[in-house]
Copies of this chain bind each other. A is one copy, B any other.
Amino acid sequence: MEEIKNKNKISELRQDLVTGDWVVIATGRAKRPEDFANIAKEEEKKEDEKDCLFCFPEKTRQEKDVLMYQNGEGQWSLRVFPNKYPAFVRSRMPKHFEEGPYFGMDGTGYHEIIVTRDHEKSLALLDNLQVLEVLDAYQERYIDLMNKKSVNFIEIFHNHGREAGASIAHPHSQLVAIPVISPYIQGELNGAENYYRSTKECVYCVMNEWECETQKRVIFENKECVAYCPFSSRAAFEVWVVPKKHKPYFERITASEKVAVSEALKFSLNKIYQALNNPAYNFYIHTAPCDGKDYPHYHWHIEILPRTAAWAGFELSTGIEISTIQPEIAAEYLRNI
Protein backbone atom coordinates (compact mmCIF):
# COMPACT_ATOMS: atom_id res chain seq x y z
CA MET A 1 0.00 0.00 0.00
CA GLU A 2 1.48 3.32 -1.04
CA GLU A 3 0.33 5.04 2.11
CA ILE A 4 2.79 2.88 3.99
CA LYS A 5 5.62 3.46 1.58
CA ASN A 6 5.26 7.19 2.11
CA LYS A 7 4.75 7.02 5.84
CA ASN A 8 7.92 8.83 6.79
CA LYS A 9 7.52 11.52 4.18
CA ILE A 10 5.68 14.61 5.36
CA SER A 11 4.95 15.91 1.93
CA GLU A 12 5.86 15.93 -1.72
CA LEU A 13 6.16 18.76 -4.19
CA ARG A 14 4.79 17.63 -7.54
CA GLN A 15 5.25 19.59 -10.71
CA ASP A 16 2.40 20.22 -13.12
CA LEU A 17 3.75 18.78 -16.35
CA VAL A 18 1.85 21.33 -18.43
CA THR A 19 2.42 24.64 -16.64
CA GLY A 20 5.53 23.86 -14.61
CA ASP A 21 3.72 25.04 -11.45
CA TRP A 22 4.00 23.07 -8.22
CA VAL A 23 1.48 21.54 -5.86
CA VAL A 24 2.05 20.08 -2.41
CA ILE A 25 0.78 16.59 -1.63
CA ALA A 26 0.88 16.77 2.17
CA THR A 27 0.89 13.08 3.03
CA GLY A 28 1.97 13.85 6.59
CA ARG A 29 -1.32 15.63 7.12
CA ALA A 30 -3.11 12.95 5.14
CA LYS A 31 -6.53 11.72 6.00
CA ARG A 32 -7.93 8.35 5.04
CA PRO A 33 -10.04 8.57 1.90
CA GLU A 34 -13.26 8.00 3.84
CA ASP A 35 -12.49 10.99 6.06
CA PHE A 36 -13.15 13.32 3.14
CA ALA A 37 -16.85 12.44 3.03
CA ASN A 38 -18.93 15.35 4.35
CA ILE A 39 -15.99 17.79 4.27
CA ALA A 40 -17.44 19.49 1.25
CA LYS A 41 -21.00 18.51 2.07
CA GLU A 42 -23.56 20.27 -0.01
CA GLU A 43 -26.23 21.88 2.16
CA GLU A 44 -29.37 19.79 2.30
CA LYS A 45 -31.77 22.70 2.39
CA LYS A 46 -32.89 23.44 -1.14
CA GLU A 47 -35.35 25.91 -2.48
CA ASP A 48 -38.77 24.50 -3.00
CA GLU A 49 -39.43 23.42 -6.56
CA LYS A 50 -42.49 25.66 -6.69
CA ASP A 51 -40.41 28.77 -6.05
CA CYS A 52 -37.55 27.76 -8.29
CA LEU A 53 -36.52 30.35 -10.88
CA PHE A 54 -35.06 27.67 -13.09
CA CYS A 55 -38.05 25.30 -12.95
CA PHE A 56 -40.28 28.10 -14.22
CA PRO A 57 -38.07 30.54 -16.11
CA GLU A 58 -41.10 31.92 -17.96
CA LYS A 59 -42.50 33.25 -14.67
CA THR A 60 -39.42 35.23 -13.80
CA ARG A 61 -39.26 37.88 -16.50
CA GLN A 62 -36.31 35.92 -17.70
CA GLU A 63 -35.00 36.87 -21.11
CA LYS A 64 -36.04 34.57 -23.90
CA ASP A 65 -34.32 31.20 -24.21
CA VAL A 66 -31.46 31.15 -26.65
CA LEU A 67 -31.76 27.34 -26.87
CA MET A 68 -34.32 24.77 -25.82
CA TYR A 69 -34.39 20.98 -26.16
CA GLN A 70 -37.62 19.07 -25.89
CA ASN A 71 -38.34 15.47 -25.06
CA GLY A 72 -40.69 13.17 -26.99
CA GLU A 73 -43.75 14.52 -25.18
CA GLY A 74 -43.08 18.12 -26.14
CA GLN A 75 -41.82 19.14 -22.69
CA TRP A 76 -38.59 21.04 -22.34
CA SER A 77 -35.68 18.94 -21.11
CA LEU A 78 -32.92 21.58 -21.26
CA ARG A 79 -32.93 25.31 -21.80
CA VAL A 80 -30.34 28.04 -22.12
CA PHE A 81 -31.00 31.72 -21.37
CA PRO A 82 -28.97 34.84 -20.57
CA ASN A 83 -27.99 35.25 -16.92
CA LYS A 84 -30.29 37.77 -15.27
CA TYR A 85 -27.33 39.09 -13.23
CA PRO A 86 -24.52 38.82 -15.74
CA ALA A 87 -20.86 39.54 -15.04
CA PHE A 88 -20.53 40.45 -18.74
CA VAL A 89 -23.00 42.01 -21.16
CA ARG A 90 -23.46 42.13 -24.90
CA SER A 91 -21.98 45.02 -26.80
CA ARG A 92 -20.45 45.20 -30.22
CA MET A 93 -16.88 45.84 -29.10
CA PRO A 94 -15.52 46.57 -25.64
CA LYS A 95 -14.48 50.19 -25.08
CA HIS A 96 -10.95 50.46 -23.77
CA PHE A 97 -9.88 52.99 -21.17
CA GLU A 98 -6.67 54.19 -19.59
CA GLU A 99 -5.97 55.72 -16.22
CA GLY A 100 -2.40 56.89 -15.84
CA PRO A 101 -0.28 53.76 -16.24
CA TYR A 102 -3.29 51.39 -16.11
CA PHE A 103 -5.46 49.77 -18.79
CA GLY A 104 -8.94 48.37 -18.76
CA MET A 105 -11.99 47.73 -20.91
CA ASP A 106 -15.73 47.34 -20.54
CA GLY A 107 -16.89 43.94 -19.38
CA THR A 108 -18.32 43.06 -22.77
CA GLY A 109 -19.44 39.52 -23.43
CA TYR A 110 -22.09 36.86 -22.95
CA HIS A 111 -23.14 35.15 -19.77
CA GLU A 112 -25.63 32.31 -20.18
CA ILE A 113 -27.25 29.70 -17.94
CA ILE A 114 -27.71 26.11 -19.07
CA VAL A 115 -30.47 24.38 -17.11
CA THR A 116 -31.49 20.72 -17.05
CA ARG A 117 -35.13 20.13 -16.15
CA ASP A 118 -34.92 18.01 -12.99
CA HIS A 119 -34.90 20.24 -9.91
CA GLU A 120 -33.25 17.65 -7.66
CA LYS A 121 -31.01 15.48 -9.78
CA SER A 122 -27.49 16.73 -10.31
CA LEU A 123 -25.48 15.51 -13.28
CA ALA A 124 -24.12 12.67 -11.13
CA LEU A 125 -27.63 11.21 -10.98
CA LEU A 126 -28.90 11.89 -14.50
CA ASP A 127 -28.69 9.13 -17.06
CA ASN A 128 -25.99 9.12 -19.72
CA LEU A 129 -28.30 10.45 -22.42
CA GLN A 130 -29.25 13.46 -20.32
CA VAL A 131 -25.58 14.26 -19.69
CA LEU A 132 -24.99 13.87 -23.42
CA GLU A 133 -27.68 16.47 -24.01
CA VAL A 134 -25.82 18.87 -21.71
CA LEU A 135 -22.68 18.43 -23.81
CA ASP A 136 -24.76 18.99 -26.95
CA ALA A 137 -25.93 22.30 -25.52
CA TYR A 138 -22.41 23.32 -24.49
CA GLN A 139 -21.20 22.71 -28.03
CA GLU A 140 -24.16 24.38 -29.71
CA ARG A 141 -23.87 27.54 -27.61
CA TYR A 142 -20.08 27.58 -27.98
CA ILE A 143 -20.33 27.46 -31.76
CA ASP A 144 -22.97 30.18 -31.82
CA LEU A 145 -20.85 32.59 -29.74
CA MET A 146 -17.29 31.84 -30.79
CA ASN A 147 -17.35 34.03 -33.87
CA LYS A 148 -18.87 37.09 -32.25
CA LYS A 149 -16.61 40.07 -32.71
CA SER A 150 -16.00 40.79 -29.03
CA VAL A 151 -15.44 37.14 -28.05
CA ASN A 152 -11.94 35.69 -27.85
CA PHE A 153 -12.39 33.13 -25.12
CA ILE A 154 -15.26 31.01 -23.78
CA GLU A 155 -15.39 29.33 -20.39
CA ILE A 156 -18.08 26.75 -19.62
CA PHE A 157 -18.34 25.76 -15.97
CA HIS A 158 -20.65 24.14 -13.46
CA ASN A 159 -21.00 24.99 -9.76
CA HIS A 160 -22.62 22.31 -7.60
CA GLY A 161 -23.54 23.23 -4.04
CA ARG A 162 -23.50 26.49 -2.19
CA GLU A 163 -19.89 26.05 -1.07
CA ALA A 164 -18.89 25.79 -4.70
CA GLY A 165 -20.62 29.07 -5.51
CA ALA A 166 -24.04 27.86 -6.72
CA SER A 167 -26.46 30.49 -5.47
CA ILE A 168 -29.44 28.64 -7.00
CA ALA A 169 -29.78 24.98 -6.07
CA HIS A 170 -31.43 23.83 -9.31
CA PRO A 171 -28.66 22.13 -11.32
CA HIS A 172 -27.23 24.46 -13.96
CA SER A 173 -24.06 25.25 -15.85
CA GLN A 174 -22.81 28.63 -17.00
CA LEU A 175 -21.14 29.90 -20.13
CA VAL A 176 -19.08 33.08 -20.15
CA ALA A 177 -17.77 34.48 -23.45
CA ILE A 178 -15.28 37.32 -23.05
CA PRO A 179 -12.72 39.42 -24.96
CA VAL A 180 -9.64 38.31 -22.94
CA ILE A 181 -7.88 34.98 -22.52
CA SER A 182 -7.73 33.64 -18.98
CA PRO A 183 -4.33 33.38 -17.26
CA TYR A 184 -4.87 29.68 -16.50
CA ILE A 185 -5.53 28.85 -20.14
CA GLN A 186 -2.62 31.07 -21.21
CA GLY A 187 -0.35 29.12 -18.84
CA GLU A 188 -1.54 25.81 -20.28
CA LEU A 189 -1.17 27.04 -23.87
CA ASN A 190 2.39 28.18 -23.19
CA GLY A 191 3.21 24.95 -21.38
CA ALA A 192 1.78 22.75 -24.11
CA GLU A 193 3.67 24.67 -26.78
CA ASN A 194 6.98 24.54 -24.90
CA TYR A 195 6.53 20.83 -24.32
CA TYR A 196 5.86 20.27 -28.00
CA ARG A 197 8.90 22.29 -29.00
CA SER A 198 11.24 20.22 -26.90
CA THR A 199 9.67 16.75 -27.40
CA LYS A 200 7.52 16.97 -30.57
CA GLU A 201 4.68 15.49 -28.53
CA CYS A 202 1.47 16.81 -26.97
CA VAL A 203 1.88 16.89 -23.20
CA TYR A 204 -1.73 15.79 -22.65
CA CYS A 205 -1.34 12.86 -25.06
CA VAL A 206 1.83 11.84 -23.18
CA MET A 207 -0.05 11.95 -19.87
CA ASN A 208 -2.99 10.02 -21.34
CA GLU A 209 -0.69 7.28 -22.55
CA TRP A 210 1.15 7.01 -19.24
CA GLU A 211 -2.06 6.98 -17.22
CA CYS A 212 -3.69 4.34 -19.43
CA GLU A 213 -0.54 2.21 -19.34
CA THR A 214 -0.04 2.33 -15.56
CA GLN A 215 -3.74 2.58 -14.57
CA LYS A 216 -2.57 3.88 -11.15
CA ARG A 217 -4.72 6.98 -11.23
CA VAL A 218 -7.34 5.98 -13.81
CA ILE A 219 -10.92 5.69 -12.63
CA PHE A 220 -12.65 5.21 -15.97
CA GLU A 221 -11.65 4.45 -19.53
CA ASN A 222 -13.48 3.81 -22.77
CA LYS A 223 -12.39 3.79 -26.39
CA GLU A 224 -12.25 7.54 -26.86
CA CYS A 225 -11.78 8.96 -23.40
CA VAL A 226 -10.02 8.48 -20.05
CA ALA A 227 -10.76 9.89 -16.57
CA TYR A 228 -7.99 10.04 -13.99
CA CYS A 229 -6.84 11.84 -10.84
CA PRO A 230 -3.98 14.04 -12.09
CA PHE A 231 -0.44 13.43 -10.78
CA SER A 232 -0.25 17.03 -9.54
CA SER A 233 -3.83 17.30 -8.23
CA ARG A 234 -4.82 20.78 -7.04
CA ALA A 235 -7.34 19.29 -4.61
CA ALA A 236 -8.15 15.92 -3.06
CA PHE A 237 -10.21 13.76 -5.45
CA GLU A 238 -9.67 16.05 -8.45
CA VAL A 239 -10.52 14.21 -11.69
CA TRP A 240 -9.73 15.12 -15.28
CA VAL A 241 -11.78 13.79 -18.19
CA VAL A 242 -9.51 13.81 -21.25
CA PRO A 243 -10.42 12.72 -24.80
CA LYS A 244 -7.86 10.32 -26.26
CA LYS A 245 -7.74 11.92 -29.68
CA HIS A 246 -5.55 15.00 -29.86
CA LYS A 247 -7.83 17.96 -30.46
CA PRO A 248 -7.28 21.54 -29.25
CA TYR A 249 -10.88 22.66 -29.71
CA PHE A 250 -13.82 21.40 -27.67
CA GLU A 251 -16.29 22.70 -30.22
CA ARG A 252 -14.98 20.20 -32.79
CA ILE A 253 -15.97 17.22 -30.65
CA THR A 254 -17.65 14.52 -32.77
CA ALA A 255 -20.89 12.74 -31.98
CA SER A 256 -19.13 9.57 -30.84
CA GLU A 257 -16.60 11.53 -28.76
CA LYS A 258 -19.49 13.30 -27.09
CA VAL A 259 -21.01 9.96 -26.12
CA ALA A 260 -17.65 8.82 -24.72
CA VAL A 261 -17.03 12.02 -22.78
CA SER A 262 -20.56 12.16 -21.35
CA GLU A 263 -20.14 8.57 -20.14
CA ALA A 264 -16.80 9.42 -18.46
CA LEU A 265 -18.10 12.68 -16.98
CA LYS A 266 -21.24 11.06 -15.59
CA PHE A 267 -19.24 8.12 -14.18
CA SER A 268 -16.69 10.41 -12.51
CA LEU A 269 -19.30 12.73 -10.99
CA ASN A 270 -21.21 9.72 -9.72
CA LYS A 271 -18.12 8.20 -8.10
CA ILE A 272 -17.35 11.53 -6.41
CA TYR A 273 -21.00 11.79 -5.31
CA GLN A 274 -20.74 8.38 -3.65
CA ALA A 275 -17.23 8.68 -2.24
CA LEU A 276 -17.65 12.14 -0.72
CA ASN A 277 -21.39 11.96 0.06
CA ASN A 278 -22.68 14.50 -2.47
CA PRO A 279 -19.97 17.12 -2.03
CA ALA A 280 -19.90 20.61 -3.44
CA TYR A 281 -17.77 20.68 -6.59
CA ASN A 282 -16.94 22.65 -9.70
CA PHE A 283 -16.18 21.31 -13.13
CA TYR A 284 -15.18 23.23 -16.21
CA ILE A 285 -13.99 22.84 -19.78
CA HIS A 286 -10.49 23.92 -20.69
CA THR A 287 -10.26 24.52 -24.42
CA ALA A 288 -8.21 26.66 -26.82
CA PRO A 289 -9.29 30.29 -27.27
CA CYS A 290 -11.54 31.31 -30.15
CA ASP A 291 -9.51 34.40 -31.03
CA GLY A 292 -8.79 33.30 -34.58
CA LYS A 293 -5.29 32.06 -33.83
CA ASP A 294 -4.20 28.43 -34.09
CA TYR A 295 -3.32 26.44 -31.01
CA PRO A 296 -2.32 23.11 -32.54
CA HIS A 297 -0.48 21.84 -29.43
CA TYR A 298 -3.29 22.30 -26.93
CA HIS A 299 -5.63 19.45 -25.95
CA TRP A 300 -9.09 20.25 -24.60
CA HIS A 301 -10.39 18.46 -21.51
CA ILE A 302 -12.70 18.73 -18.49
CA GLU A 303 -11.46 19.26 -14.92
CA ILE A 304 -13.58 18.31 -11.89
CA LEU A 305 -12.62 19.95 -8.57
CA PRO A 306 -14.44 18.73 -5.44
CA ARG A 307 -14.35 21.42 -2.74
CA THR A 308 -12.26 19.35 -0.39
CA ALA A 309 -9.98 22.18 0.67
CA ALA A 310 -10.13 25.92 1.19
CA TRP A 311 -7.54 28.42 0.02
CA ALA A 312 -5.80 30.00 3.01
CA GLY A 313 -2.95 32.52 3.11
CA PHE A 314 -0.35 30.17 1.67
CA GLU A 315 -2.39 29.31 -1.42
CA LEU A 316 -3.57 32.90 -1.96
CA SER A 317 -0.07 34.31 -1.69
CA THR A 318 1.82 31.66 -3.64
CA GLY A 319 -0.65 29.97 -5.98
CA ILE A 320 0.77 26.67 -4.69
CA GLU A 321 -2.13 24.44 -3.67
CA ILE A 322 -1.96 21.86 -0.89
CA SER A 323 -3.80 18.56 -1.22
CA THR A 324 -3.89 16.08 1.65
CA ILE A 325 -4.31 12.80 -0.21
CA GLN A 326 -2.16 11.22 -2.87
CA PRO A 327 -4.04 11.09 -6.18
CA GLU A 328 -3.10 7.39 -6.45
CA ILE A 329 -4.97 6.67 -3.22
CA ALA A 330 -7.90 8.89 -4.22
CA ALA A 331 -8.19 7.08 -7.57
CA GLU A 332 -8.09 3.66 -5.93
CA TYR A 333 -10.84 4.71 -3.55
CA LEU A 334 -13.01 6.11 -6.35
CA ARG A 335 -12.52 2.98 -8.47
CA ASN A 336 -13.53 0.66 -5.65
CA ILE A 337 -16.50 2.47 -4.19
Report which A residues bind B (CB closer than 8 A).
9-15, 17, 19, 21-22, 24-26, 28-29, 85-89, 94, 97, 99-107, 155, 157-159, 163-166, 174, 176, 178-180, 182-185, 187, 203, 206-207, 210, 213-214, 231-232, 282-286, 303, 305, 310-314, 316-320, 322
The answer on a CB contact under 8 Å between A314 and B102 is no
Please name 14 further chain A to chain B contacts, defined as beta carbons within 8 Å, in addition to the given A13-B107, A13-B180, A286-B317, sorted by A numbering: A10-B89, A11-B106, A12-B106, A13-B104, A22-B182, A24-B87, A26-B87, A28-B86, A29-B85, A102-B232, A182-B320, A183-B187, A184-B319, A284-B316
For the complex formed by this chain, how many copies does it contain in all? Answer: 2
Given contacts A11-B87, A11-B107, A182-B319, contact A214 B312 (CB under 8 A): no
Q: How far is the CB of A178 from chain B (nearest CB, A)?
A: 7
A-B contacts, 6 of them at CB < 8 A, read: A12-B105, A28-B87, A100-B210, A155-B314, A165-B314, A284-B316
Chain B contacts of A210 at CB under 8 A? 100-102
Residue in B closest to A85 when the chains form the complex, CB atoms: B29
Q: In the complex the two chains form, is A314's CB within 8 Å of B180's CB? A: no
CB-CB under 8 A from A312, the residues of chain B are 159, 164-166, 282
Q: A206 to B180, alpha carbons, bound, how many Å?
A: 24
A13, A100, A319 — which one has the most chain B CB atoms within 10 A of its CB? Answer: A13
Looking at A11, A86, A94, A303, the one whose CB has the most chain B CB atoms below 10 A away is A11
Chain B nearest CB from A51 CB (Å) reads 22
